[in-house]
Each structure stands twice: as C-alpha cells, then as structure tokens.
Structure 1
Amino acid sequence: MKDQHSDNDPNWKRDFPIEKTKATHVSRREFAKFLGLLSGALAISNGGIVIKSLLFPKEGLKGEHFVCNVSDVAVGEMFQFEIEGTKVVPYILIRLEEDRWRAFEQKCTHLACAVRYRADLNQIECPCHQGFFDAESGRVIAGPPPRPLPQLAVIIREDKVYVTGKEEQEQENIS
C-alpha cells in the first residue's frame, strides 16, 4: 500500500498514518469488552462496601452528651447540634411538649438531605424529595425514605438536656 501522505506533511502525520474516520470508530466487541470491565469493577466495589459494613458495623453513640439548657428550646421548636468527639453527624433536638423531647440524626435516610421539624404538621420533613417522618418515633410517613431516622434517647437533668444512644438507654432500662 502506498503512503497517502506527501513529503510536505508534518512529521506527526507521517508517524501516525491513521485516518480520522478510522480513529473514532469503536467496534461492538471493544464496546462490549469495555462494558464488561466496567460492570465487573462496579460489582467488586459494591462487594467491598458490603464486606466493610459486615466486618465493621456502625457503632452507636456511647455515653451521655450535653446538648443545651432546657430554656434554650421553646415548645414546638427544633435545635440543631453536633456531638464533639465523634465523626461529624448533625442532629436535631425537638421539644414536642413541655416535658416531651426527641432527638434524631438530621440526615434523611433517602439521600442524606438535611431534615427539619415542622411544628404545623408535627412531622419531620425532608424538603429535597418530600419525605416525611413521625416526630414521635422517626418512622417514615410518606415519600421515598427507606428507613426511619436514627434516634437518640433524651435525658433531662437539672434543667440541662443530654442525649445518649437509644440502644444504651434501653439496656439501662432493662437492668
């Protein structure tokens, strides 16, 4: 086959004598091989996530943590807080009535959007995708969230509000 390039062409054209139309063509076999490799990589990475969650389960909150004074939160209001010493997870404290308090993670269980308490509905709302949770228990009422909001136990002592892990509080009540 005779070289199609002339002596006036730049060196790179003589070094790489591939026509542009041939360079952009991808065969079905190459495309299928690419998809197979990509699918395999995704399957392996998902398997790694599952193995990590089974071998290293998420630890619950240990001990009591001070949040605020009782007078800092009015009835029907929400108070946002984070607990120092843990990985940064935002929480909300809700004062439902004079002596009824609830605390939940502020991340929606659907796509981790920030949730907020709506006193007019007595529900917790995820404004991103119109998810609603029960303010009493954190269970899903409506929308796409797949699970209830993780809840903390609230302890009131000497006009101060503390939170602790829900499981830890339940174990103390049993013994």
Structure 2
Amino acid sequence: MAQQDNTPDWKIDFPYSTVETLQVSRRQFAKFLCLVSGGLMAGSGLVAIKSSFFPERKVEGEHFVCNTAALPVGGTRSFTLPGSTVPYILIHLENDEWRAYEQKCTHLSCAVFYKPGTGRIECPCHNGWFDALTGEVVQGPPPRPLPALNVIVKGDAVYVTGQQPA
C-alpha cells in the first residue's frame, strides 16, 4: 500500500521556502545596484546634453497679454508666450503697478499664486513666498528669485518683453 503525500500541488511546482525568497544574494544586489546607477548616469547625461545643446530661448520682442480693463487691481492672469510652454503670471498690484513672473517656483517648479492684498506670491507646495514687487524670495526653500519679464502698458494694452540683464 502506497503512502499518500499531503504536499499541496503548488508546493511541488514552486519548491521554495519563505526564507529563500526573502534573501538577496550578492550577485542580485550587485545587478540591482548597477541597474540603478546606470539609470541615474543616463538621466544625468540627458540633462547635461539638453542644457548644453538646447539652451532656453530668451524672450524677444513685445508680446500682447491682455487689455488693462480685463484685469482688475489685485487680479492675475496666467499666460504663455507663442512658441513656448513656460507658464507666466501677470499681476496687477494694489499700487496700480504691473508685474510678470514665471509661474513656476524656483525650488521644485510648483505653480505659484499671487495672494491679493499681501504683496506676496505663494508657492503652496513647501510654503515658499516671493515678494510681488521684486520676485525676491521672502521665505521658504526657493533658492533664487522668480524669473521676471518687463511689463509695458501702452494705452489700454499690456505687453511683456524679456528681462533686461542687470
């Protein structure tokens, strides 16, 4: 009489113990380390190539944004320039001045928003704040001021041009 085996069918197909599946060999670890290191190296190389061979284009000429009547005091308008994907924000400050900045925080590129009545631009991702008059960092982790555009008001039209070098 043959003895009946109580081993489940799946254990016969997959004869690995739990301890064996949780352990990582040095060879597996080295493969994983090489794969991750190679990926990081390739990514860094692509960033370096993009920044050196494809520099960002400067804003040239005047670009119409809106009419002055379309933006009340304390209001904002998001816009992009033709041929660009960079988002900008036009601000009509409470002292009746106009400012235009890139709408990406200089920390991690989160969208920034103007807080009416405070004179500040907020980055809600990490509680960063910028001065709405100058674009300078007031608080938080952003490492540099917001890139700005010059704003020109001609009659009832608002235009932006590239920032003049300091």
Classify the TM-score, shorter chain.
Answer: 0.7 to 0.9
Structure 2 partner of 1:166: 163
Structure 1 partner of 2:124: 127
| Distance across 1 between alignment mates of 2:50 and 2:90 | 31
Asked if 1:141 is matched to 2:138, the reply is: yes
Tell me the number of residue pairs that the alignment of Structure 1 and Structure 2 aligns.
159
Deviation at 1:120, TM superposition (A): 2.6
TM-score normalised by structure 1 residue count: 0.77
Q: Percent identity?
A: 51
| Distance across 2 between alignment mates of 1:126 and 1:17 | 53
| Distance across 2 between alignment mates of 1:24 and 1:135 | 55
Q: Which one of 110, 113, 118 corresponds to residue 116 of structure 1?
A: 113
Structure 1 partner of 2:48: 50
Deviation at 1:24, TM superposition (A): 5.4
TM-score normalised by structure 2 residue count: 0.80
- SS of 2:27's partner is helix
Question: Which residue identity does 2:60 align to in structure 1?
Answer: K
Alignment of 1:1-175 (within 5 A): 19-21=16-18, 22=20, 25-83=23-81, 85-96=82-93, 97-98=95-96, 100-167=97-164
RMSD: 2.7
Instruction: Structure 2: give runs of 5+ residues left out of the alignment.
Output: none
Instruction: Structure 1: give runs of 5+ residues left out of the alignment.
Output: 1-5
Structure 1 consecutive aligned stretches of length 4 or more whose deviation exceeds 4 Å: 20-24
CA 1:76–1:24: 2 relative to 1, 3 Å: closer
Deviation at 1:18, TM superposition (A): 5.2
